[in-house]
A and B are shown apart, each in its own frame.
Chain A
Amino acid sequence: MEALSDYSETLPNVTFVQRNLYSCSEGGINEIKNGIKEQNLNRVVVASCTPRTHEPLFRSSCEEAGLNPYLFEMVNIRDQCSWVHMREQEDGTAKAKDLIRMGVAKAALLQPQESITSEVCARALVIGGGIAGMTASTALARRGYEVVLVEKEENLGGMLNHLNKLGPTMIDANDLMEEKIQEIVQHANITVFTQSRVTAVQGFIGKFEADIETQSGVKKIDIGVILMATGGNAFVPEGLYGYDGQRVITQLEMEQLLKNGLDSDIKNVVMIQCVGSRNQERPYCSRICCQTAVKNAILIKDHNPDTRVSIIYRDMQMYGVENEEMFRDSKAKGVRYIHYDPARPPQMESDQVRVYHSLLGREMALPMDLVVLSTPLVAPEDAGITSQILRVPVDENGFFLEGHVKLKPLDFATDGIFLCGSARFPANIRETVAQGLGAASRASIPLSRGSVVVEPIISVLADEDACRGCGLCVALCPYGALEIRHTEKGRKVHVIDVACKGCGVCAATCYQHALTINSYTDQQLEAQIDAFLD
């Protein structure tokens, strides 16, 4: 650190260097503000952690001290030096010097920018009418916002349509669904489109325009924010453990059997966990299948205590207070648990399941009248299409990827789009309701403000004369932020400020160098490269 601060003092244009243990602490921030005032600084460079989390803070600190926030540059020596070169300290320090030199070179050329304010349409689009989407919709409606709820199926309710009772309190899924649907239908602020799909979304936070394909044609609706609540599907285990939907069924099919009342001939039930999950193809644990199995096992036992229920498992994922309680309860009711090793999975025989009990160290034969396979929730087949329409990412398992795993679990990286429920990752009823409310809360922030402030680090037509209106940039812009306009000077590109994300594709493409990106101009980047080569 000392080497770096000493080095920084030798750099051109640097008049003041301050070392802080935590630049982001209140003390560190005050040092920066005092530095700006006392030393009359006109550019600030912070070499510390990642701009992803801390740049907004430092920028606003500059602003509070009277410096335009865009005269600030951040050098990420934590991620790019300390972390990745943990074991090459000297080289890491040398690299940090390079990066600081480059940052300073760029900072010298930074220009002040003014942020852009844009209005927010006070209407939310909720995609998916399951418990997550319905919870979010009613929450937003209660807050006084208009909600458009789009559901692809004939009825609202999503997965609730197929469930029997919900653990741990064993509330009736159908009752809950009816209650929620009533709330939705009766609320004047909510417009529901069933058997409908969102087919296109244009625009940006506050000013989206969605095409909704409904039974009565395509409707174009102005939208301020979007909530994704598209849920998940139960994996169908074709070809696994003799799955036939009759004698070998899934937990989801079990829900239906229990709803109808379980056949009293069924005396022996065997459940198998992790069918189609925690394997090479689907490496994730689907979180809710263990609790579903335990819940259904309890319901079978409650229905007929003489029925033998065995659950063949790898790890019983009964996390938390309520699940563990249900797990204990099931054992008290006589549900048997048999641990298997994925290397020696259970074998199906005509009227029994043969399994190597890895804790007893011996093979067992479990008679069966019914085998229930616990399969994971998987992303719906059309998640990929939805992801393209909204330009939001999915993770390696096809679930939607939140903005930050820890800090922004219900936001997408794209402003104005939020997510909740099993669209994000399998979640039980309690978690889904919580996320539905949470996503509504996040979405209500721009709605209640009525306007959003957009980053001015965007594309600008710096050299209008050079632009030939060829439209190459327009075709490539992933955000629909460019258009060709006819001006007195002929065809020229026009940047829609608030839609632009500053990705730079247009500026990199423009062979006339007419477009440039604020705070990433050719001149600034060249200065950085020159500094690197020094």
Chain B
Amino acid sequence: MLDVGRHPNIALLAYSEVEKVDGQAGDFKVTVRRKRRYVDEDKCTGCGACAEKCPTMVPDAFNEGLGSRSAIYSYFAQGIPSTHTIDPDFCRKLNGKKCGICEKVCQADAINFDQEDRIMELTVGAIIIAVGYDVFNPSQIPEYRYREIQNVVTAIEFERLLSASGPTEGHLDRPSDRAVEAEIAGFEKNLKKSKRTLEKLEKKYDEASAQFYNKYQQGQYQDDEDLKKWADRYAAYLTVTKSLDDLKNKAESFSVAKRLAFIQCVGSRDFRFYPFCSGYCCMHSIKEAIIAHEHEPETTSTIFGMDIRAVSKGFEEYKIRGGNHSNITYVRGRVAEITEGPGNNPVVIYEDTQKRQVESQEFDMVILATACAPTKGIVELAKVFGVELDEYNFIRTSPLSPVDTTIPGIFVCGCAESPMDVPESVAQASSAAERAAEIAIPLESEKEKAVA
């Protein structure tokens, strides 16, 4: 990524969209909309001072909503370019409120609330589409109760939980436990505030709240409005303290997730959604299970799948190693349902097709290996570029021209073409670069002809 940002031959137009394509192979005219960031790209140094001071916190899309970020942000810490962007949906100033703190703290004078979208015209010889894919939204599968059961997460969410730079710093804290901890933090904040108010009152009347409240309850001071407020405050304080204690007691028993279930083919190989195999998910689950085990050696993982497709170099060996050294059990079967058991533990109900028995098993967390879905805007994008899509909305190619779209001079690579893993995407990117170069770079001999 950094290579892309630094290469002298690459002009990086991030936060931009292609609106129109005219012309033909060797001479395309491309209209690009550079969306307004409200930050001047040429001035912003990416120092992050604005994000530090921004008072508005919003769910962090990079961390799959598991953490939070400020309304002025860079998508993630190593993002290229590091230019920050103001999220117009949340920014106080852009929503008519008083703020503008970022503008004050920015030493580069890069904040520009009046910035507009800019339209650019590019002339290019060839085009490569590499728009990737979307993670299938498993809420569409009612029997897996994603979002209903907190400890059922997608493989990508789990990836963020496993990441040392993620919202849990790599600890497998369960979402249900994190929710309780967030509640505790909320109550504590609340208590701190009411404690301060109570202290003021205690000072004013020179009496401890408990003592006062005792008397109050016995019927004293009932007609004094101010004292009644004190009593109400103290009563509320006691209720919150009680709830907090209960939650804290509950939180004491929390530990990181150690019993993991991975469910394969969530949305893939499923006639209701995508009949195709997404290719990479089996290995992704095995990798996540191995890393979870590296973090916490007591971790056990069960991978539920119809076929475990470990088909690239070293993959089968990796799968076996996961079984032998990382406590992974592979169960052949499709999971029928997930329910919630005691202690927020998801319960997986499945048929073990090799035992020919319907079984159920309780886990600390369930991870859904979701399908590789064609990216949301691909239909409009295909129209803009004039390229054909296949029946699933991936960009159409043929086996003998694996990166050529139906329009000469426009090529495709990666999951925009079909699901594939990193090495395959990297190899395919080189293939697309080759095809594009054949068109975009004139041959020496032809250059000479042109001069003549």
Contacts and interface: CB of A to CB of B under 8 A. Distances in A.
B313 A25 contact: no
A91 to B, nearest CB: 17
A444 B438 CA distance: 11
Given A143-B438, A320-B279, A438-B434, A26 B427 contact: no
A148 B422 CA distance: 31
B411 to A, nearest CB: 10
Contacts of B314: 284, 395, 405
A399 B313 contact: yes
Contacts of B431: 433-438, 441
Contacts of B438: 139, 142-143
Contacts of A439: 430
Nearest to A440: B434
Interface string A114-148: 00000000000000000000000001001110000
A395 B418 contact: no
B350 to A, nearest CB: 14
B249 interface: no
Given A143-B437, A285-B316, A435-B427, A26 B5 contact: yes
A321 B420 CA distance: 10
B61 to A, nearest CB: 18
A278 interface: yes
Contact of A406 (B394, B423, B428): B423
B392 interface: yes
Interface string B405-446: 000000000000011101110111111011101100101110
Interface stretch (B28-36, B76-84, B109-117): B76-84
B434 A321 contact: no
A317 B311 contact: yes
Contact of B434 (A21, A139, A339, A399): A139
Nearest to B320: A283
B430 A321 contact: no
Interface string B194-229: 000000000000000000000000000000000000
Contacts, number: 176
Interface string A4-41: 00000000000000000110111101100000000000
Given A22-B77, A24-B78, A441-B437, A430 B279 contact: no
B354 A321 contact: no
A409 B429 CA distance: 11
B42 to A, nearest CB: 14
A424 B441 contact: no
A317 B307 contact: yes
Contact of B423 (A27, A409, A437): A409
B316 A284 contact: yes
Interface stretch (B43-51, B85-93, B253-261): B43-51
A344 B403 CA distance: 43
B403 A437 contact: yes
A68 to B, nearest CB: 19
B399 A322 contact: yes
Contact of B2 (A24, A176, A284, A358): A24
A219 to B, nearest CB: 26
A168 B398 CA distance: 10
Interface string A49-72: 000000001001000000000000
Given A29-B2, A430-B400, A435-B431, 13 more contacts: A25-B78, A27-B45, A27-B47, A284-B316, A321-B276, A324-B277, A359-B354, A424-B313, A434-B402, A435-B427, A437-B434, A441-B431, A444-B437
Interface of B: 2-3, 5-6, 45-48, 77-82, 165, 269, 275-277, 279, 294-295, 307-317, 320, 353-354, 356, 390, 392, 394, 398-403, 418-420, 422-424, 426-431, 433-435, 437-438, 441, 443-445
Interface of A: 21-22, 24-27, 29-30, 57, 60, 86, 139, 142-144, 166, 168-169, 171, 176, 278, 283-285, 287, 315-325, 328, 339, 341, 358-361, 395, 399, 405-410, 424-425, 428-431, 433-442, 444, 448
7 A-B pairs closest in CB distance: A438-B430, A441-B434, A315-B307, A437-B431, A285-B316, A26-B82, A430-B399
28 contacts: A22-B78, A24-B78, A26-B82, A27-B45, A30-B45, A57-B6, A86-B294, A86-B295, A139-B438, A284-B314, A285-B310, A285-B316, A319-B277, A323-B277, A339-B353, A358-B354, A359-B356, A360-B356, A399-B313, A405-B423, A406-B426, A410-B427, A430-B399, A433-B431, A437-B403, A437-B435, A441-B430, A441-B437
